[in-house]
């Protein structure tokens, strides 16, 4: 069932509160170094303005922990938005209170206002109902376009929805739910999941959920070493989670029981330290010498994984195959990425690091859907309910 969309709602002359994700990186001078997230919300913003809404935008930025922090001020985002839209954007120096109310009262149809960082108030993350009511203010329509924050029940993603009768998903939210939903419901097979990154413990539910429908799961990254160690393979100095060996064994047993082709690296790129100056060597076996650490999947594993990926009709990818930030340990991630690009399969990539890897490989145009929400996409694909999504009504 699809959620009610911003396209289905009458916005003309209405005060519309839109939760966006303007959590952009800023440099020391307070300049935005990457405005991808602002651009991602432009379709919803433009639609609301074209339909004559009095638009109030709200977002968090960074982790100010409930205190005003000038380094996490959203004013630069208002300025960037004004350039992108080629129209003035009002800015309120607090997300609630008389100044914000005055701005809202002065909005004409097709005008917009950005509120200051929601997380300058601790009540935002605490999902305080009084704060949520104040945020709702005079808004008549609530739009959530911040998929990346939808896994958190905060005042602006959940609490506020109790105080605004009309609610709908923004276009970005809608797109995320559509593509991530497709990866879970009636996907084409063979279904290949590529799972990497730092820790098994971050991805337990994801792996368990995948075992319900994936044909093949390709494991890479540091988490592979916890699985190998659990199988009794020597992993040398590789990063492992010593307290998760039993869990890794359980997951391996589950995969076997469910007849999932659960693959671990059979050769590695290793070094004596995790450093850009380290000398990379290839180890042609699953086991790693005692004085070396595994930092990438080896050439044989790359070829095997690429082969499995190329046969897939659906691919889901979360987490790099190695320390892809350092060139000599990036090959595994890049080759698997290129195989995804060449597969012609429906491909969904989620998680900040995998998205960075997709950009590094230059294959963004070949991916069906690159999720803007790291944690949110992982939770969604783990089969969990996202509070910010649950709070939105279904389409009738
Ligand atoms: P995650 O956020 O869980 O997707 O983890 C991504 C991080 O895992 C990246 O910063 C990688 O550098 C790191 N990583 C991947 N493979 C390894 C490895 N073999 N050893 C140490 N760190 C790794």
Report which protein residue has its CA nearest ligand 1's atom 10.
323
Break the chain into its structural domains and give their ranges.
6-171, 179-381
Bridge partners of residue 350, in order along the sequence: 318
Tokens 């971050």 — which residue? Answer: 202
User: CATH number of the domain at 6-171, please?
Assistant: 3.40.50.1260
Q: What is the Cα–Cα distance from 323 to 214, expressed in whole angstroms?
A: 25
Out of 206, 320, 349, 382, mutate this one to test ligand 1's pocket (max ligand atoms within 8 Å of CB): namely 320
Out of 194, 196, 197, mutate this one to test ligand 1's pocket (max ligand atoms within 8 Å of CB): namely 197
Give the atom of ligand 1 at the shortest distance from the alpha carbon of 351: 4
Q: Phi and psi for 128 in degrees, rounded to 5?
A: -70, 130
pLDDT reported for residue 372: 87
Q: How is residue 176 written in tokens?
A: 């995320």
Report which protein residue has its CA nearest ligand 1's atom 2.
197
Q: How is residue 146 written in tokens?
A: 């911040």
pLDDT reported for residue 275: 94
Nearest 5 degrees, angle CA 37-CA 170-CA 75? 40
Helix or strand holding residue 52 (H, E): none
Q: Are strands 268-271 and 281-283 parallel, antiparallel or unpaired?
A: antiparallel
- 199 counts as catalytic: yes
> One of 52, 236, 352, 374 is an active-site residue; which one?
352
| pTM attached to this predicted model | 0.91
pLDDT reported for residue 352: 72
Distance 249 CA to ligand 1 centre (A): 21
Kindly give the residue spans of alpha helices, DSSP state H, lying in 232-351: 245-257, 299-310, 331-343
Nearest 5 degrees, angle CA 186-CA 191-CA 195? 120
Q: Tell me, using a 6 A CB cutoff, whether residue 283 lines ligand 1.
A: no
Assess contact for 145 and 44: CB atoms under 8 A: yes
Assess contact for 179 and 153: CB atoms under 8 A: no
Residue from 278, 316, 72, 276 nearest 191 by CA: 316
Distance 221 CA to ligand 1 centre (A): 6
CATH homologous superfamily for 179-381? Phosphoglycerate kinase, N-terminal domain (3.40.50.1260)
> pLDDT tens, position by position, for the chain (396 residues)?
799 999 999 999 999 999 999 999 999 888 999 998 999 999 999 999 999 999 999 999 999 999 999 999 999 999 999 999 999 999 999 999 999 999 999 999 999 999 999 999 999 999 999 999 999 999 999 999 999 999 999 999 999 999 999 999 999 999 999 999 999 998 999 999 999 999 998 899 999 999 999 999 999 999 999 999 999 999 999 999 999 999 999 999 999 999 999 999 999 999 999 999 999 999 999 999 999 999 999 999 999 999 999 999 999 999 999 999 999 999 999 999 999 999 999 999 987 788 889 989 999 999 999 998 889 999 999 999 999 999 999 998
Q: How far is CA 379 from CA 147, 174, 203, 262, 297, in A?
A: 11, 16, 9, 21, 26
Q: Tell me, using a 6 A CB cutoff, whether residue 332 lines ligand 1.
A: no
Assess contact for 49 and 168: CB atoms under 8 A: no
Q: Tell me, using a 6 A CB cutoff, whether residue 128 lines ligand 1.
A: no
Give the atom of ligand 1 at the shortest distance from the alpha carbon of 296: 19
pLDDT reported for residue 137: 94
Do the first three CATH levels of 6-171 and 179-381 match, i.e. the same topology?
Answer: yes
Residue 282's CB is within 10 A of a number of other CB atoms, namely 12
- Using the 8-state DSSP alphabet, how is residue 319 labeled? S
Report which protein residue has its CA nearest ligand 1's atom 18.
222
- 292 counts as catalytic: no
Q: Tell me, using a 6 A CB cutoff, whether residue 220 lines ligand 1.
A: no
Assess contact for 294 and 270: CB atoms under 8 A: yes
Q: What is the Cα–Cα distance from 164 to 166, expressed in whole angstroms?
A: 6
pLDDT reported for residue 52: 98
Give the atom of ligand 1 at the shortest distance from the alpha carbon of 319: 4
């Amino acid at each position: 069932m699809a959620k009610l969309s911003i396209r289905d709602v009458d916005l003309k002359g209405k005060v519309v509160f839109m939760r966006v994700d303007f959590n952009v990186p800023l440099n020391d001078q307070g300049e935005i170094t990457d405005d991808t997230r602002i651009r991602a919300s432009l379709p919803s913003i433009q639609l609301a303005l074209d339909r004559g809404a009095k638009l109030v935008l709200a977002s968090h930025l960074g982790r100010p922990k409930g205190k005003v922090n000038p380094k996490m001020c959203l004013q630069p985002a208002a300025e960037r938005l004004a350039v992108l839209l080629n129209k003035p954007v009002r800015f309120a120096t607090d997300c609630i209170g008389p100044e914000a109310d005055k701005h809202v009262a002065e909005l004409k149809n097709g005008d917009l206002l950005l509120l200051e960082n929601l997380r300058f108030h601790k009540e935002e993350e605490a999902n305080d109902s009084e704060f949520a009511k104040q945020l709702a203010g005079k808004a008549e329509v609530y739009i959530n376009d911040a998929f990346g924050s939808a896994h958190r029940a905060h005042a602006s993603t959940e609490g506020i929805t109790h105080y605004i009768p009309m609610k709908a998903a923004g276009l970005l939210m809608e797109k995320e739910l559509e593509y991530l939903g497709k990866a879970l419901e009636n996907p084409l097979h063979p279904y290949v999941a590529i799972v990497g990154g730092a820790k098994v413990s971050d991805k337990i539910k994801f792996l368990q959920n995948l075992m319900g429908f994936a044909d093949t799961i390709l494991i890479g990254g540091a988490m592979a070493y916890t699985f190998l160690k659990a199988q009794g393979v020597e992993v040398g100095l590789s990063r492992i989670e010593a307290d998760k060996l039993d869990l890794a064994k359980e997951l391996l047993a589950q995969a076997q029981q469910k007849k999932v082709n659960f693959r671990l690296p059979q050769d590695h790129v290793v070094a004596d330290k995790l450093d850009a100056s380290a000398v990379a060597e290839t180890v042609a076996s699953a086991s790693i010498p005692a004085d070396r650490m595994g930092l990438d999947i080896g050439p044989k594993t790359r070829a095997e994984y690429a082969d499995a990926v190329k046969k897939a009709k659906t691919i889901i990818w979360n987490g790099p195959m190695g320390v892809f930030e350092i060139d000599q340990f990036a090959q595994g991630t890049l080759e698997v990425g290129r195989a995804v690009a060449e597969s012609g399969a429906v491909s969904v990539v989620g998680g900040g690091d995998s998205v960075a890897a997709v950009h590094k490989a230059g294959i963004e145009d070949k991916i069906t859907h690159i999720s803007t929400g790291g944690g949110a996409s992982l939770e969604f694909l783990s089969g969990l309910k996202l509070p910010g999504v649950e709070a939105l009504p279904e389409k009738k």
